[in-house]
Amino acid sequence: MAILHDNALLPHFKELADAIQMSDGVRAICIDNVELRPSALGILFPAMEGKVASIDMRRITFPDQDVVECYEIVATSIRRNHALKLLTWVDSQIPSDNQADLMIESVIDNRSITFVRLENCFNQNGANGCRTLATLLSGRPFEKLDLDRNGLSGIDDVAAALATNPQIEILRMAENELNDRDAELIAHALKHNTNLHKLYLEENNITATGFEKIRTTIYDPSSFNAMEAGNHTCYCMGNEGNNTHGLTPQQRRRRKFPQNPKRVLQPSVSVER
């Protein structure tokens, strides 16, 4: 059961905040399964600024009447916390695009954040996860973005942003509702992307047909020109597509070409008598 807000807890939040400020060893904070109000957030989040490198918020709820103020407190603190590297927001539904924009704008403004994990935060009735991901991809460089379990589908804007070759190494979109059309859009984007190293697409609604589109973008043996033009950078989890995990793009490229191209190209004639 979630811990509901109680003013009796505020002195304990204050004690925790003081301990964070006094300590040089606290680098990560995980807050799980708690209802938070502005009074508690106003104590905790400012105390983490300049101290905590990883903020992990799971199954957090805000009372309806306090939602706007709560997100304003969180966003303001995220923007100012230049020690922050990793922001995790899991199983905590973001109610609207306004609140999502508030958080994402603060994340983009704070260039010390390199890894954003927003898992099971969006659905079809609340904030638009595809819109949020496209904004993050277009906003500035990140090392890793994780938007697993968000019901993502119809990713036209995401694919368009990915095709601009943003500075990102790892993108997770597993356990969503992506289909073969989405896979085709991703395949087209990967034709123009040379920065993405790992793409996770497992447990979606993509069939073998959709994964074949991605595979041929990564490795198309129809001709030497097609092989040369393939994406040798990205490893796609769920459909390796001949881009072996753990190799450099140069090593992958070399492995795709035959060891004896003259022999491959030599015509063969068979005559039966």
pTM for the model: 0.88
Of the chain, the percentage scoring pLDDT greater than 70 comes to: 92
Phi, psi (deg, nearest 5) at residue 105: -60, -40
Quick one: which of 98, 102, 74 has its CA closest to 88?
A: 74
The upper half-sphere exposure of residue 6, i.e. CA atoms within 13 Å in the direction of its Cβ, equals: 6
> What does the pLDDT look like over 142-180, one tens digit per residue?
999 999 999 998 999 999 999 999 999 999 999 999 999
Pinpoint the alpha helices (H) of 49-196. Answer: 67-80, 97-109, 129-139, 156-163, 180-190
Q: Are 203 and 174 in contact (CB under 8 A)?
A: yes
> pLDDT at position 241, please?
59
Q: Is the pLDDT of residue 261 over 60?
A: no
Q: Is the pLDDT of residue 229 over 50?
A: yes
| 4: DSSP letter | P
Dihedral sign computed on CA atoms, order 222, 224, 227, 230? negative
> What does the pLDDT look like over 36-89, one tens digit per residue?
999 999 999 999 999 999 999 999 999 999 999 999 999 999 999 999 999 999
> What does the pLDDT look like over 5-49, one tens digit per residue?
999 999 999 999 999 999 887 899 999 999 999 999 999 999 999
Share of the chain residues as helix, strand and coil, in percent rounded to the nearest 5: 40, 15, 45
Lowest-confidence pick of 86-95, 121-130, 131-140, 176-185: 121-130
Q: At what angle do helices 156-163 and 180-190 cross, to 10 degrees?
A: 10
Q: Is the pLDDT of residue 265 over 50?
A: no
Stretch 209-238: mean pLDDT: 84
Stretch 90-119: mean pLDDT: 97
243 or 168, greater pLDDT: 168
Q: Is the pLDDT of residue 112 over 70?
A: yes
CB atoms within 10 A of CB 134: 19
Q: Is the pLDDT of residue 258 over 90?
A: no
> pLDDT at position 238, please?
73
To the nearest whole number, what is the mean pLDDT of the chain? 90
Phi, psi (deg, nearest 5) at residue 236: -105, 110
> pLDDT at position 260, please?
55
Phi, psi (deg, nearest 5) at residue 58: -130, 135
The upper half-sphere exposure of residue 227, i.e. CA atoms within 13 Å in the direction of its Cβ, equals: 14
120's tokens: 């099971």
* Separation between Cα atoms, residue 228 and residue 222, nearest integer Å: 11
Tokens 């491959």 correspond to 264
Cα 30 to Cα 21, 22, 53, 147, 220, distances in angstroms: 16, 18, 11, 19, 45
Q: Is the pLDDT of residue 270 over 50?
A: no
> pLDDT at position 95, please?
93
